[in-house]
Amino acid sequence: SQQGEEDPQALSIQEGENATMNCSYKTSINNLQWYRQNSGRGLVHLILIRSNEREKHSGRLRVTLDTSKKSSSLLITASRAADTASYFCALFGSGANNLFFGTGTRLTVIP
Amino acid sequence: DGGITQSPKYLFRKEGQNVTLSCEQNLNHDAMYWYRQDPGQGLRLIYYSQIVNDFQKGDIAEGYSVSREKKESFPLTVTSAQKNPTAFYLCASSPLGGRSYEQYFGPGTRLTVT
């Protein structure tokens, strides 16, 4: 399968805590992307990490990539209620010409 | 959702009717995509197009058809042959330069067929 698998499927935390979600995959990738989806809305691109990168930051987001373990993690620091959403990893495989999305992690941040 | 519009937001149809979902983008992106999302699930690729007048089947193309007559537009027709058409449909586009394939999504159309 070219899809990523997110873990956990659902996560509930208190506002101010950090949230970590993981994505594991089985294929070789060119890059891995994280997207956010608010309920009933379209997805929004958050961050892209290329296969030759190990870590990227964007504001309160930190993404790591371990190609030897075929896994990535998304860390949201100092979470806010507005971070409540579903988060998806998407793989751009080597030799592919489109993205493959995982099933997502549903994050709930309790005020 | 900027730059990509999908209409309508909600669509209701009777079983056996074909229905066309609109997707327009003003981002000058070469590639466009249609995804289906079922409750609590990820996105499944229906069709994609990287150039005008050309498109490719995704993982679940059966019962769907598309056209790409203009760069800005990529309408999706859900035909009566689609056995379970009720779902949330998302359109996306991406630039092909740089080959990152970062995608920009529209707000989605929720189709209900009864």
| Best CA proximity match to B48, nearest among B111, B11, B96 | B96
At residue B41, does pLDDT exceed 90? no
Q: What is the DSSP string of chain A?
A: ----EEE-SEEEEETTS-EEEEEE-SS-EEEEEEEEE-TTS-EEEEEEEETT-SEEEETTEEEEEETTTTEEEEEE-S--GGG-EEEEEEEEETT-SSEEE---EEEEEE-
What's the 3-state SS for B72-91?
Answer: CECCEEECCCCCCCCEEEEE
- pLDDT tens for each residue of A51-95: 999 999 999 999 999 999 999 999 999 999 999 999 999 998 877
**Nearest-Cα residue of chain B relative to residue A106:** B40
φ/ψ (deg, to 5) at A81: -55, -30
Hey, how many other C-beta atoms are within 10 angstroms of the C-beta on B4?
A: 24
Q: Which of residues A78 and B80 earns the better pLDDT score?
A: A78
Average pLDDT of chain A, as a whole number: 93
Confidence band of B42 (pLDDT split at 50, 70, 90): confident
| A93 close contact with B: CB closer than 8 A | no
Tell me which chain B residues have a C-beta less than 8 angstroms from the C-beta of A99.
Answer: 101, 103
| A88 close contact with B: CB closer than 8 A | yes
At residue A9, does pLDDT exceed 80? yes
Mean pLDDT of B74-95: 94
At residue A10, does pLDDT exceed 90? yes
| Best CA proximity match to A92, nearest among A56, A48, A57, A39 | A48
At residue B97, does pLDDT exceed 70? no
At residue B2, does pLDDT exceed 70? no
At residue B1, does pLDDT exceed 50? no
SS3 (DSSP) at B53: coil
At residue A25, does pLDDT exceed 60? yes
Q: What is the pLDDT of residue B101?
A: 76
- pLDDT tens for each residue of B50-59: 999 999 999 9
Q: Do A97 and B35 touch (CB under 8 A)?
A: no
Strand locations in chain B, DSSP E?
A: 4-7, 10-13, 19-25, 31-37, 43-51, 54-57, 64-66, 76-78, 87-94, 104-105, 109-113
SS3 (DSSP) at B54: strand
Between CA A19 and CA A43 the distance in angstroms is 19
Mean pLDDT of A91-101: 81
Q: Do A40 and B101 touch (CB under 8 A)?
A: no
% pLDDT > 70, chain A: 97
- Tell me how many residue pairs between chain A and chain B have CB atoms under 8 A apart: 62
At residue B40, does pLDDT exceed 90? no
Tell me which chain B residues have a C-beta less than 8 angstroms from the C-beta of A43.
Answer: 43, 90, 92, 103, 105
Q: Cα distance from B82 to chain A (closest Cα, Å)? A: 22
